[in-house]
Amino acid sequence: MRFLRLKYFFIGKPIATDRAAHELIPKWKALAVLSSDALSSVAYGTEEVLIPLAAFAATAVAWSMPIALAIAALLTILALSYRQTIHAYPHGGGAYTVAKENLGLNAGLVAGAALLIDYVLTVAVSVAAGIENIASAFPFIAHHKVAFGCIVVLLLMVTNLRGVRESSNVFAFPTYFFILSFIIMFVVGAWQMVTGSASPVAPILHEAYPAIPLFLLLRSFASGCVAVTGTEAISNGVPIFKIPSAQNARTTLTWMAFILGSFFLGVTLLSHVYGIYPQEGETVVAALSRAIFGSSVFYYFIPVSTALILLLAANTSYADFPRLCSLIGDDRYLPRQFKNRGDRLVFSNGIFGLSAAAVFLIILFKGRTHHLIPLYAVGVFISFTLSQLGMVRYHFKHRRKKWLISSLFNGLGALTTFVVLLVVAVTKFIFGAWIVLLVLPCMVVVFRRIHHHYLAVGAELSLIGKNPPPRLEPFNHAVVIPISGIHCGVLEALRYALSLSHNVRACYIEFDPEATKRLLPQWEQWAAQIPLEIIRSPFRSIVRPLLRYINQVDHETQCDMITLIIPEFITKKWYHQFLHNQTAFFIRAALIFKPKIVVTSVRYHLQNT
């Protein structure tokens, strides 16, 4: 009961299945839940564009605006493409479903693996970037980035275990605070430029751009493409929208794309005009805020709102990762436990798995965003490309109204994202992209091995093709009771054993012959009708002598089944249990893979201690 009260305190009381419809959320909340990942990339997208350029030469940053415009065009193509996906798959058309149904199983598994990697990296990158933004304003945090990052992941986990509706209430305020604070920064920055109160360091457009290597431009473009990650989240999360789900999802996707594109271009433009470059210890967004607001209180609005949206951007993954795991688990390519909903109608096992993987990455990469980013974009664009190719195939198969126009949008999306995928894979290969390209096929192999296991288990358990017996007959079985002495708990186990079979025997593992001499008269007094076997154990082992005795009984009796009954006593207070031997646990663990043996416990509950 104490555990249940603690559980209900943190995640709330269980929600009945028939209340699922009341857990759906409106568009303005869905924007906060499913767009926080995409919107949060504003915080580091421009910085990732500038880092390769600034490392080459100060004049090279002039290319930041043309690159940002190219990324904004890519975002527009993706948004139009995923609107088609939502229309075709109104119940949720993630890359896994689209690719599997239209391109085949292998393509679906690759897309699913890529999405799972993407969602885990989203949590790790968002949390790490959020902590770094806070550290820009409060430097003492920089020395404890990993610890703070792990704490934030655990808080997100608990919040999402409370359910979709409650988590959306938590995340709505930070998202809209972020949007409002950035609008204020853009308005003030533009006003300063127009009125001349701030002197621009560089013009918006250049008459001539410096000559730099094509590879560097491509690397900068590939780095900045993290700004479009999360675009697919709304198409994956259609089921959480209020009815009409598909229409609400399409509208929310349009809102998200417009806000993301505007903010990304705005940050890049102002950073270029104000001469903001990446610096150790301060993010580009924080530096831009300082240039516009100085040291006034408004300066802190941007780092704080950015940190909040980054920390909560991980919630997009918490909305989609468990749902994707449930789909793959339902197809028996992941453990079936992932398809089960918890007390609050969320996929709890997926939430636990995502949290554990994100904490592992934060610790492994020491909470450094720039080290995590190269791993990020590869999986995203693999899923983008497969999803859009699947949609092209879908349109040609079904040929519904305006299918040619729809296939054109998706085809353009597939071509664009495939080109970007090649650029990202080549330019970021040595910086960490190779890890994702190695992990992806390994995950597909694991998926297939899991599926093979489920098929083999199903075939072995199936009754199809087998002749039913004329009538069910009871097992001929023997009962073995290991004892450590004679007490009330042992007597309860003996009574239970006699109700199961007439072939009951007890065994005592002897460490001390003197203890055996004291036991035998007590046994004759209380349980003389049950034979007691004394097994000597010169090396003070319990499990191995017991296993040998069970094998001996099996050989002698030739029974269909042997039941091992373990007498246990349970203390009144749970923490007193740690003061007693846990032999029963080790016996059960040793026998779990032994065929023809049933292990059960008869528990005697102490009333006073």
Residue 385 lies in a domain: yes
Task: State how many domains the chain has.
Answer: 2
Pairing of strands 532-536, 477-483: unpaired
Q: What percentage of the chain has pLDDT greater than the value 90?
A: 15
519 neighbors 485 (Cβ within 8 angstroms)? yes
My answer on whether 179 and 253 are in the same domain is yes
Q: Which helix (H) or strand (E) holds 477?
A: strand 477-483
My answer on whether 379 and 496 are in the same domain is no
pTM attached to this predicted model:
0.76
SS3 call for 515:
helix
What pLDDT, in 10s, does the model give residues 175-208?
888 899 999 999 998 888 888 776 666 666 666 6
The DSSP secondary-structure symbol of 468 reads: P
My answer on whether 122 and 229 are in the same domain is yes
Mean pLDDT rounded to a whole number for the chain:
83
175 neighbors 39 (Cβ within 8 angstroms)? yes
d(CA 377, CA 115): 11
Residue 459 lies in a domain: no
Q: Does 1 have pLDDT greater than 70?
A: no
Q: Does 593 have pLDDT greater than 80?
A: yes
My answer on whether 302 and 410 are in the same domain is yes
**Residues ≥6 apart with Cβ < 8 Å to 102:** 389, 390, 391, 393, 394, 397
Determine the pLDDT at residue 58: 66
pLDDT higher at 539 or 478: 478
What pLDDT, in 10s, does the model give residues 329-375?
889 999 988 887 766 667 788 889 999 999 998 888 877 776 776 77
Which of 396, 423, 454 terminates a domain? The answer is 454
Q: What angle, rounded to 10 degrees, do the helices at 164-195 and 145-161 form?
A: 130
What pLDDT, in 10s, does the model give residues 374-385?
777 788 888 889
β-bridge partners, 602: 567
My answer on whether 523 and 584 are in the same domain is yes
Q: Calculate mean pLDDT across residues 4-23.
A: 57
Q: Does 20 have pLDDT greater than 60?
A: no
Residue 175 lies in a domain: yes
Residue 468 lies in a domain: no
SS3 call for 78:
helix
Q: What percentage of the chain has pLDDT greater than the value 70?
A: 90
Work out the pLDDT band at 271, boundaries 50, 70, 90: confident
d(CA 142, CA 123): 19
CATH of the domain at 591: 3.40.50.620
Phi, psi of 264 (to 5 degrees): -65, -45
CATH of the domain at 72: 1.20.1740.10
Q: Calculate mean pLDDT across residues 475-487.
A: 87
* Boundaries of domain holding 502: 477-605
What pLDDT, in 10s, does the model give residues 282-323?
778 888 888 888 877 777 888 788 878 877 777 778 878 888
164 neighbors 268 (Cβ within 8 angstroms)? no
What pLDDT, in 10s, does the model give residues 388-441?
899 899 988 888 888 888 888 888 888 888 888 888 788 777 777 788 888 899
d(CA 431, CA 374): 6
**What type of residue is 427?**
T
My answer on whether 399 and 516 are in the same domain is no
My answer on whether 442 and 503 are in the same domain is no
Taken in order 387, 388, 390, 395, the sign of the CA dihedral is positive
**Residues ≥6 apart with Cβ < 8 Å to 32:** 168, 171, 172, 174, 175, 176
Residue 27 lies in a domain: no
My answer on whether 171 and 204 are in the same domain is yes
Phi, psi of 180 (to 5 degrees): -65, -45
β-bridge partners, 205: none
pLDDT higher at 12 or 243: 243
My answer on whether 380 and 509 are in the same domain is no
49 neighbors 226 (Cβ within 8 angstroms)? no
Residue 21 lies in a domain: no
Residue 460 lies in a domain: no
What pLDDT, in 10s, does the model give residues 505-522?
999 998 888 888 999 999
My answer on whether 166 and 248 are in the same domain is yes
Residue 186 lies in a domain: yes
**Residues ≥6 apart with Cβ < 8 Å to 64:** 46, 49, 50, 53, 220, 268, 271, 272
Please count the residues of the chain.
609
Closest C-alpha to 109, from 332, 366, 431: 332
d(CA 117, CA 115): 5
Locate 370 and state its tokens: 């720039």
My answer on whether 535 and 566 are in the same domain is yes
Which of 423, 454, 485 terminates a domain? The answer is 454
My answer on whether 308 and 369 are in the same domain is yes
Determine the pLDDT at residue 162: 75
